Amino acid sequence: MMGRTIFIDPGRCIGCQACVSACRECDSHRGKSMIHLDYTDEGHSVASLPTVCMHCEDPVAPCAEVCPADAILVTADGVVQQADTTRCIGCANCVNACPFGVPKIDLQAKLQMKCNLCYDRTAYGLAPMCATVCPTGALFYGTAEELQAERPGVQIADTFTFGETEVRTGVAMVVPADKVRWPVPGGLPVVEINGKDVRR
C-alpha cells in the first residue's frame, strides 16, 4: 500500500454522491466523474459503497498490463494514471481487464478515462477531490497511521481474491473489526474458462 492513499469505509457511506459530484469538478477530467456509487443491498437497506480506482500494486495494474498501446503509466509512487491521450486507441482492453470495473471509455473520443488519484492535487500535497469533500469520511485520504489515530481500532484490507487470483491494491478498504478476513473476496470465483473447469 502506498504511503498516503485513499481508504474506503463502506460503513460510513451515506450514498450522497458528493464524491461523484466532486470528481466531476476535479480539474484533471472536469465534467466527468470517475467514481461510481453502488447500492449493495438494494431493497433491504440503504447501504452504499463508492468505488474509485484501486491502484493495483501486485500484479501491477491489470489495465496497464493489457494495454496494447502502453498508454497507461504507473508512477513511481504507485498511482496508476489514466490513459495517455496521445497513445490511447480506445480499445477497451483495460475495461475488460480491471477486476474492479473502474476504467471507462469515451466512445466518441475513443479515449479511456479513469481515476488518477487526483494526481494534479496529490502532487501538490492536497487530498483527492472526492476524499476531500466526502462528508462522512467514507473516503479518507492519508496514511494508515493517520486513519488509525482518527478511528481507533479500525481494520483495513488491501488484498482481494478473485477466484484463485490475488490482487494487492494501493487503495485500501476498511473492513469490520470483528470480521477480518485476509484477503477480502473481490467477486465471484472463476469457475471455468473456455468451457474448461479450472477449479481445483
Q: How far apart, in whole angstroms, are the C-alpha atoms of residue 27 and residue 118?
A: 8
Report the residue number, 46 or 198, with the smaller CB distance to another protein.
46
Q: Which of 20, 66, 111, 157 binds another protein (CB under 8 A)?
A: 20
Burial state string for 71-105 with b = 16 or more CB within 10 A and e = fewer than 16: bbbbeeebbbbbbeeeebebbebbbebbbbebbbb
Contacts of 111 (CB under 8 A, 6+ apart): 83, 85, 88, 90, 105
Report the residue number, 60 or 190, with the smaller CB distance to another protein.
60
Residue 24 binds to another protein (criterion: CB under 8 A): yes
Residue 123 binds to another protein (criterion: CB under 8 A): yes
Q: Hey, what's the cell of 138?
A: 467514507
**Choices 16-24, 54-62, 108-116, 172-180 (CB under 8 A): range interacting with another protein:** 16-24
Residue 66, classed as helix, strand or coil, is helix
By DSSP bridging, strand 36-38 and strand 49-51 are: antiparallel
Residue 168 binds to another protein (criterion: CB under 8 A): no
Binding to another protein (CB under 8 A) within 128-157 occurs at: 129, 132-137, 142, 146, 149-152
Residue 179 binds to another protein (criterion: CB under 8 A): no
CB of 163 to another protein, least distance (A): 31
Smallest CA-to-CA distance from 8 within 119, 157, 129, 168 is with 157
Site residues, another protein (CB under 8 A): 3-4, 11-18, 20-22, 24-25, 27, 42-48, 77, 122-127, 129, 132-137, 142, 146, 149-152
